[in-house]
Every structure is written in structure tokens, then in C-alpha cells.
A and B are shown apart, each in its own frame.
Chain A
Amino acid sequence: MLARTEPINGTAKPKPVSSPMNNFKSDLLNSFSLKSLKLKTKQQELLIRVSILCLVYVLAFITRLFSVLRYESMIHEFDPYFNYRTTLFLTQKGFYDFWNWFDSESWYPLGRIIGGTLYPGLMVTAAIIYWTLRFLRFAVHIREVCVLTAPFFASNTTIVAYFFGKEIWDSGAGLVAAALIAICPGYISRSVAGSYDNEGVAIFALLWTFYLFVKAVNTGSLAWALASAFGYFYMVSAWGGYVFIINLIPLYVMVLLITGRYSLRLYVAYNCMYVLGMLLAMQIRFVGFQHVQSGEHMAAMGVFFLMQVFYFLDWVKYLLNDAKLFQVFLRITVTFTVGVGAIALGVGTASGYISPWTGRFYSLLDPTYAKDHIPIIASVSEHQPTAWSSFMFDFHILLFLFPAGLYFCFKRLSDATIFIVMYGLTSMYFAGVMVRLILVATPAVCLISAIAVSATIKNLTLLLRAKNKVAQTASAKGIGSAKSSSKGLLDQSQPFHRNGAIALLLGAFYLLSKYAMHCTWVTSEAYSSPSIVLAARGAHGNRVIFDDYREAYFWLRQNTPPDAKVMSWWDYGYQITAMGNRTVIVDNNTWNNTHIATVGCAMSSYEDEAYEIMRSLDVDYVLVVFGGVTGYSSDDINKFLWMVRIGGGVFPVIKEPDYLVNGEYRVDKGASPKMLNCLMYDRARGVEIGNKDVKLEYLEEAFTTSNWIVRIYKVKPPNNRW
């Protein structure tokens, strides 16, 4: 707890020597450490700032280690298992094999071209860290590197947040931002140890790119713009969320143009960043020519051309001294440009050269789109619209500090603050549309809140400090002197000013400490469970661990033929390939909707129909998740409706109403007849409620884990004909 509160204290003292908030503490500090070292105020400040940053760095790392301490160093969730598997491949076979890897173990019988369908940034990063450590003769295992990559990058993000805060406001705000982002649950949810996912690296890359771009706009320096292009390249290589950058930056430039803040600095920064960033991004195979062809990237290109027009107009204006003539010229040029742009876009779209927006992009702009058109996107819980409670859960006081910070930003409007305001507002909107995008909003919210905290506390402490000084000098002199009021803007007529300031400071301190406690609690309770291992409280309050998934995957790995094909719902695909080392029919890379629908169809048909489908897919084993015994809620029967919807989306034989009773979804005795007879039901609720004595004709139970969570069935070979 000590380490936790310290940076929060630190947030209140950008120039902490004189911060009265912990007056006695700093006095104490001064009296025996700093004064005795004879450091100058400036050096003292530097020392304190650096040590706070170091503490925040360490804090951001260790607060994410709950799960390692509680369970062990292992990979969490679903996608990270794929990332881990590919990283393992990369470290064993080298980069070129990785790049050309055709994976036949997933999407049977289609297979998947791994090198061309993933963002390699994460794997390459982990592999480089691994190779570096190996080179330095630290014999670490690649798994440990993968587990700790996300916390390591979270720590780096705090440093970037500090510099970003310093760039847009001052170093005090930077420190507060670093401390806030270090423990913000919205970020921790995706960066605990073991959550080896793209986001862990990508948030760092995102903030880094933004920071460099703002720096480039502020300085107009080519070097910074170049650096931000490379930051963008790293982001593109790491996460599909780069689309956010390539749309936000043009939007920001557009806003600057409209508000009349066009400058040569902006021109240099944007052009350099866009052109180089585009060229670099196209090197990633998964992106390739999409960067110039797809609808999502067109805004950036449009703004790029607009910048040239602006530059041209500026130049013409400089040549032409006649204002009237320039007006005419302006009108002609603008009409012409807009016309050409519109025609180009129209022709491009019509000829198919420019691809239209993808479904995911649409669903961001229109939250109801996915539900109607693409059930597979809507079926993922992290793609649901965000509830208010989860905003509160992930941001806590930042939710209230955010508008305050916006106020401060508007009060001191500059290129940099405009950027952070736009980043904050747009990402907040997206966070409202999709739960997982809270992650993208988190850095912005932290930065803006940090501005609010820092500015408020700074004002308050200034007030207090002035008073203190007066009191000091007055007491030293013995007589109050009018001269001493030269520094503080003292208003003698408000006697409660000082007390008010102290009360507010205490209040701020209280809120911040509450925030720290909330974050710790959330991290420990909600975000540090690896989902593959379930923990529950036993009857005596002790911790019971259900390790059924790995038990089942291990069984698959050991006791099935190496070429066995396993059918399961797509959630478990990555884990089965990574841990069970067996071929799966569908997995979490949901690129082929029909294939998934086939599986959904098999799961939701009668056993004999399902058997036909399974025969046609050459399935040997079927894996289902069953929570009936342990009361585990996210089992396959709860996902069942989605199987029906996705299956029904492609195969009209499957109709959702068949599975509902009076529009209600029931699994007990009152369940609908079709439901009771379908394959999925048989297998998931085999010995439970509703339909008890199930005899399976075409399948046999091959293995059930000790807590009944995972059940594996073997598909019997067809009967002999005679």
C-alpha cells in the first residue's frame, strides 16, 4: 500500500518541496535529507520527479503481477494462446518461416496463412526481448517473456504518459498522468501479466505515436515527425486499432484547419507522418494495399491532399496582394478540388478500387448494425455496448475529472490541448459503443484528468503557499508589513480562503487515495483471474481452483491420435491448438463465417443430422463446456443462442424461435422440444435438468474433467454395412 499511495502523493507535488499538502512531511524530508545534501531547489525537484517516475514505473509493473503470484506464470484468455503459439514458432523457426507459415492445424480443412493474416508486432517484440535476454546470457523461457511483456509495456506507457502530459500541460500534469495510467483499471484489464495480447503493446504504441505527433506539431521538426511515422509503423504492426490513429490525426488536422490554426509546423508534421507512415504500414502484409484502397483510410488521404491545397493557397495569397482577386481564386480552387475529390471517390468506389467500409467499422459508427447484420461480431461479449457501471468500474473518479480536465484544456487552448480534447472525446464515444474500446479511451481520460488534478492542486497550493509566506515573513518581522504582500495575491477580505483551500486539498487527496484503493481492488478481484483457471470460494472460504480446461487439453494432447480433428465452439479453438496441439475446425480468428455457421449448425441440430455434418467435416472429437455441476456460467449452453443465430444466418434450416419457449430461453424441463433434442443440448446438459437420461447414438463420452467443466466426446465411426 505504501508504494501505491506514494505516487498519488507525488501527484500533488510537481514542485513538492514547497507543497504544503504534505507540509510536515516535506519539512521532515528537507531537514535531514535534502538540506543536508545541499541540493538546489531545481535539483531537488528533478530528484523527486525522477524518483516518482521510477516508483510509478515499478508500480505499474508490480500491480499487474497479482495473477502470477496467485496462480503461476501462464497465458490467460483465448487470443493470447494463439499469440503464444506463434511466438514460440517464431523463436524456434526464425522470422522467414514465421512469415511464410501456413498453419494446417486450424480451420480444418481450409487451413490458415498465419504470416499474412496477423499483426506480427507483438510476437516480434517478444521474440526480440527474448533474444536480447538470451544474448545477455539470461536463460529465460519464452513463456516468461510472453507473460511479462504486457506489464513491461504498461510500465513504458507510464513514461510516455509523463512526457505526453508534459508536452500538453506541464511536468506536474505529466507526473499525475503517469501515476493515474499506471493503475487505471481500464488499462490493467488488458495488460495484466499473462494477458499476452496485441493491446498490451498497442496502447504503448498508440500513445507513443500520438505523443510524437503532437511534439512534431509543436516543434515543426522533421525529426519528430519521422519518429512519429515509425511509431505509427509499430502500431500498425501490432494492432488493428491503428485505424483509430489514421482517422483521428486527419480529423485533428481538419479541426486545426477549420479553426484557422494552420501553420507550416502542422504541414511538415502531417505530411511527413502520413507519407512515411503509409509507406511503412504497407510493409505489413496484413495491411498491404488496404492502406491506400480501403474506405477506412480515405480520410487521411483526403486531408493530405487538402493540406497541399492549403499550402498552395497560402503561396498564392503571398504572391497575390489583391484580396479580391484571391477570393475569386479561392472559390474556384475549392470548388475544383472538392469536385475532383468527390469524382475520384465515386469512381474509385464504383470500380471497386476503393473497398467499402468493413462491418466492424460500421458497427462502431452505428451500434445497432452488428446485431442486425453480423451476429458473429455481436456474439462477442467485449463487442457489446458499454454499460454505465463498467465506465464507473474502469475509470472511477476519472469519470468526473474528465469534464473538469476538458474545462482546463478549453481555458488554455493550444494545438496540443486541442489534440487531447479530440482524442478524449472521440475515444469516449467509441468506448460507449464497444466495451473493449474503453482501453483506447483510457490514456486520454487519464491525461485529461491529470490536467484537472494537477491544475486544481497547483492553484490551491499556490494560494496556500502565498499565505504561508506572508505568515512567515510577518512573524519574522514581528509587525505586518504591506511590502510582503508583493508575491501572493493576498485578499485579506476572505478569511476562509486558506481553510477552504486546505479542505479542498484534503478532499482531493481523499479522492485520489480512494481511486488508488479502488484500482487495487479491481485489479486483484476482477482482472487478475486467467479465465482458463477458474477460482471459487469453497464452503470454508478457502480458494478452490478448477483447472479443468487445461486438464482436458492435456488429455487431448496425450491421449488422442496426433492427427485428430476436434470440433468445439470457436472460443476454444486457439487454446486447443496451442495447448492440445490438435487440429480444430474453427478458432478465434473468425475469418470464415460460413465455416463457423456450419459448426453452429452441427451443434444445434438433432444428433443424426449433426452426425452427417460432423462426418463431412471429418471430426474425430467434440469438445463442449458444461457448467452444470460447478455452476460455471459461461458454458456452451449460454452461448447456445449465438450458435443458433450464427448457424441460422447461413443455414435457414436453423430458426431461432424453435429454441425458445414463449420468447424465453429456458434450459430446464420447460425447454422447447426442438431444443431438448438437439445435439448441443444433449452434450452440454447430458446429465442435468430437463432431459435426463440421454442416450447418444453416434457419440460416446471420451473424457470428462474432474469438475465436469469440459467434456470430450468421440465421434463413432460409421457402422459396417453388412
Chain B
Amino acid sequence: MGFWLRFNLLVFTIAILSTPVLSDLILSKVDRRIDLTSQIVRITSTLKVENAGSGLVSEVLLAFQSFRLKIWYLMATTNEGKGKTKSAGVSLPVEIANPKGMPPALTVYSVSLSKALGEGDTMSLDVLAVFTHTLKPFPEKITQADIQLVLFQDSAYYLSPYAVKFQSLSIKLPDARIESYTKIENTKIHGSEIKYGPYENLHPFSYSPLVVHFEINQPFAVAQELVREIEVSHWGNVQVTEHYNIVHEGAKSEGEFSRLEYQARPHIRGSSAIRHFVAKLPPRAHSIIIGMKLGIYQHLICGLILKELLIEPRYPMFGGWRTAFIIGYSLPLQDFLFELEGKRFLNISFASPINDLVIDNLVVKVVLPEGSRDLSVSTPFPVKQRQESKISHLDVVGRPVIVLEKADVVPEHNQYFQIHYSFNKLSMLREPFMLISGFFFLFVACIVYVHVDLSISKSSASYLAKLQWDEVRATIQQVESIINQCLATHEKIEASLRDLSRIGDVQACKTTRKTADGLLKEHSKELKPLLAFLQSSPAAANILPKVEELVAKERELQERWMAKHSIIVDCYEKKLGGREIENRVAPQQQKVVALRQEVEDLLEYIDEI
């Protein structure tokens, strides 16, 4: 470690000595605050820039040591307003610059100012730089019982291509042990905060190494890959599914893991382990699912408040251990989908809702409904883009998917991005219609199958027999229906007789009788060919006697009815008393009931064949 530092220093001094002064800008005051309370290092610098030379200057250069990996997020804002009209800060475009003569150990970014600085003008500039993977665990391997110590290196002086008049630096550390820190002049320590400076009148590229060695037990959770799938359904739902693949990038765990010690004293024997993650979901998220891979899926149903979600991995994660899990939640569509000039646009946040998570590789997939056209994306920072399609339930051509890829994502990237597309509302009805037609065709197929003759050989004996049998059955059914009609006619006669006994209208009764006679005759006429067919058909041989019996009984029943009818009518015409009529009718009545029962039995019997 020490060697490495010294080497760097050497490179620097060489580099610095050989660099000319670049421009006439002077930083009249620099105030730096370094936040080391989590694995993400945030350096906020407030610069007061002054143009000491002549001529307009429209860009300010910022230098960072490039050995410390790349900068993950850089934002420069300016507070241009004067006095009371101080606006909240306008962010300025920042891009990587490569001016000539810069030492190779530095990466230089240039901030383009919105208004060029004239001679003697000053302005203040806020620069937020976010780094990860900069805190180096030292020692690199620890056991379960050890605490995790990390090293942080920087320069005590503000590294800049410009001269700095007045500067100060404060480093905020977590509330824990500080193992050691570099002491140079004007170093003060206040609890967990170390202050350097103020230093005055330093040359460009002034450098003084600074190392802090301290304990940190914050999770060093790094998602090596995160796939977020955002699926838009126009039926009112946005489903977000996030697949995490997380590794603990703190000090590597070495030696054995003792569950006994971990359970007995979890905060001492396992202080460096990640126990849980906290995710802050968007408001109105519902139907939340946390799925551990190969594990229990938890379905949570929550109310409509801003939620914090506590996710416990399957096991405490020690340094170097990995885990993977899934979070899914649904969002109401109207909060995220808007309409603008006939086109729709989706406005949704880019990165993960989990606090303090560093994402090495983020893939955001936005699945739009099938039939969406004219897709376009606007993001606040550059991302890689491509399109694919996904086939989900009941899709024919697949849904268009916009894939956005970005490496090196920190929570500061959690900003909204927009996807514009146009979509015809009628396409929403396509899937229900497909389902309905599917079932419709299924039923139609069933009907067709039942009604269509599918036999191959039309001349085989069994086929012919079957045909004949079908015919016989049809005929028998006809016979049955005729008999039933006859029975209905009998009931009509009975009804007329009842009317007669109530009202005494003999004439009406007689007309009913006449029509009934006509009907019955017709029926018997209809029966004749049917019976003849049955007699001729060999297939009906075993059922024929029953049918004949049925017809015979029915005829007898008919006769009885007629006899009964004429007796009663007679009696009424002779105006006999009620008892007399009953006496006369009684034998007929008995037979009628018996016959009727028999006919019904026979009908039932034939039915069951």
C-alpha cells in the first residue's frame, strides 16, 4: 500500500512539475466536503471562480486523479443569481476533456459555463462528484469476528489546474473507530469529522497525500447486474420486476463461519455482514413480491402510503458472498403514463429503489403493449439503447421492448426518463377477443364433431347396422312423440269433462270431442307407416313387441276415454245425478288409470333402451 502511494506521488510530482499554467482563472475560495459514511464517496466542492486574466473564459476545468477508477457521477451546478434572486441551481453540461499538456495521471473534465466570464468576473460553482470502489478494505481478508477497516486516499489540497487562494476540507466519517489519519498542518478532529485547512495561496496542481484508515460497517452491496423489467399494461397497471445479483464487496471473509457465534452475538461476531436491504418504493405501489431465488415468495399487500421495504437475504452476507433475489411491484398506470399531442409517454425512474446500492451493470427493459409504434426515448444522461421483442401471454407478434443499458450506476442516477410511443386503444380488445373466439371455435368444433359422420368405410356391416339402428331410434322417438301427443289429447278430453261437470256446457264438450277425434285419427294415420317401418327393419326386432304393445295399449286407452266421454255426456244429456254418473263411469275410470300407468311404464322402458 505504502509503496503504491509513494509511486503515485512520484508520478504526480513529475507530472506537476512539467505542467504549465493553463489559463488565467483563479479559484478564490474552495470548500470541500467529503462524505465517507457509506460505500459511496460523495465529494461536494464549492468553488468560487474568478477571472484574473483578460478575455472571456467559457469553460472551467476540473481535475481528478485517474488512478482512483472512473468517476461514476459528476454534476456541476451554479448559483448564478445575485442577492435574493438566488435560483436553486442550474446544472451545467460536463464532459471529459483532454487539454494538451495535462499529466496522464489526471482525468480532466470541463464544465461549459452558460455565460462566459469577463475580466474580473466571479461566479460560484457547486461540483458533486460521486465515486465508488474507492474505499479499499485493509486488511483485505477478515474473519467473522473482525471489524471491517477501509482506507481512503485523496489529496489534502484541492487538485486543480488553477491556483487556489483559500481552501478548506472536511471529511465526514461514520461514528466508529478511526484507526489513523494523515496529520499535516492545520489538522483538527471533531468527533467523527476531520478538518484540514484552511490553506492559502497554493499553486496549480498542489498535492499532499492524505490517507484515512477507519472502521465502516455499512453494507458494501454492489449489484453486479440488475435487470429491471417495466411492463406497461393499458388495463391500468405498470408492473416492475427487478432481478438483483448482489455481492458484498467489502473485506473478504476468511476462515470458518460459525452460526453459533453469529446467533449468540450477531453484532460483534458478524458486524461486517449485510443483514438486510432497504428499498424505498414509489408511492401507491401495491402487490409487492419479494422472491428469493429458490425460495419462498412473499406476497405483500400494502396500503397506499410511501413504503420502505426491508429485504432480508437468505443468509447474512459476509465479505465476498453473493446473493440474488427478485422484487416485483405494481404501480397504477395513471401516475406514470401521460398523453401528449396524441402520443403517450411513460415517465418512470431509472435506477433501483434500494438505498445505497451501487450497480455495476443496469439493464432497464420497458415492455410496451403489443401494437405500440413510433418509440422514442429521452433520458437525462447517455445510455446504450436497443430494441427487442418479447412474447408474453396471447401475443402474436410480440411486444416491443426498449432495452436501456448503463454501466456504473449510483443512487444519483435515479432520475426520471421518458418513453414516447403511440398506441391505438382498439388493440386492447384484441386479446379478450382472441380468447372468446378460441372458446367459440372449440365449441363449434365439438358441435361439428357430434353432428358429422366421421366413419371411413361407408359400406361395412357395422356401419350399416349403426345407420339402421339410428333410423330405428329416430322412428321410435317419433312414435313416442305421437303417443305423447295422444296422451295430451286425452288430457284435453279430461279437461273438457271437468268443465262439463262445473259449467254443464254439453255442446262445448261435444266439439272438443270432435276435434280430439280428428286429432287422434290423424295420429293413428301417422303411426301406421312408422310401425310398418319398424316391422320391416331387422334392427328393431327386439324392441318391436314393446312398441306394438305400447300402441295397442294406447289404442285401448283411447277407446276407454271415448267410452267414458260418451257415458258422461250421455248422462248429462239425460240429466242424471252426480252419483249415478260416478257409478257408471267407475269401471271405465279404473281401467283408464291402469292403462295410463302401463302406457307410461312402457314409454319409460322404451326410452331407456
Contacts and interface: CB of A to CB of B under 8 A. Distances in A.
A487 B172 CA distance: 103
A571 interface: no
Nearest to B253: A559
Given A558-B324, A703-B257, A139 B391 contact: yes
Contact of B322 (A483, A559, A702, A708): A559
A554 interface: yes
A259 interface: no
Nearest to A555: B315
B257 A704 contact: yes
A85 interface: no
28 contacts: A42-B608, A72-B297, A137-B391, A137-B396, A477-B594, A483-B594, A533-B296, A545-B296, A547-B295, A550-B295, A551-B314, A551-B315, A554-B295, A554-B323, A558-B321, A558-B322, A558-B323, A559-B322, A687-B260, A701-B257, A701-B258, A701-B259, A702-B256, A704-B257, A704-B258, A706-B315, A708-B259, A714-B256
Contact of A554 (B258, B294, B597, B604): B294
Contacts of A24: none
B393 interface: yes
Contacts of B259: 701, 703-706, 708, 711
Contacts of B315: 551, 555, 703, 705-706
Nearest to B325: A554
A40 B606 CA distance: 11
Interface of B: 255-260, 292-297, 314-315, 320-324, 391-396, 590, 593-594, 597, 601, 604, 607-608
Candidate in B295, B297, B324 with the most chain A CB atoms within 10 angstroms: B295
Contact of B594 (A137, A481, A487, A703): A481
Contacts of A42: 607-608
Contacts of B393: 137-139
Contacts of A554: 292-295, 314, 323
Contacts of A705: 259, 315
Contacts of B257: 701-704
Nearest to B324: A558
A71 interface: yes
Interface string A674-705: 00000000000001000000000000111111
Nearest to B609: A42
Interface string A72-85: 10000000000000
B82 to A, nearest CB: 57
A473 B315 CA distance: 79
Q: Is the interface of B mostly helix, strand, loop or mixed?
A: loop
A706 B275 CA distance: 13
Interface string A302-335: 0000000000000000000000000000000000
B256 A701 contact: yes
A51 interface: no
A579 interface: yes
Contacts, number: 82
B255 A547 contact: no
A594 interface: no
Contacts of A1: none
B485 to A, nearest CB: 14
B226 to A, nearest CB: 16
Candidate in A483, A551, A702 with the most chain B CB atoms within 10 angstroms: A551
A590 interface: no
A72 B314 CA distance: 17
A553 interface: yes
A645 to B, nearest CB: 31
A487 B590 contact: no
Given A137-B393, A700-B255, A700-B256, 4 more contacts: A71-B296, A72-B296, A487-B601, A703-B259
B296 A41 contact: no
A547 B608 contact: no
B431 to A, nearest CB: 9
B594 A551 contact: no
B253 to A, nearest CB: 9
A474 to B, nearest CB: 11
A545 B199 CA distance: 62
Contacts of A533: 296
Contact of B294 (A40, A579, A714): A579
A40 B473 CA distance: 14
Q: Please provide the 5 A-B residue pairs with the shortest distance between their CB atoms, ordered closest to farther.
A: A704-B259, A700-B256, A558-B322, A701-B256, A551-B314
Candidate in B314, B593, B604 with the most chain A CB atoms within 10 angstroms: B314
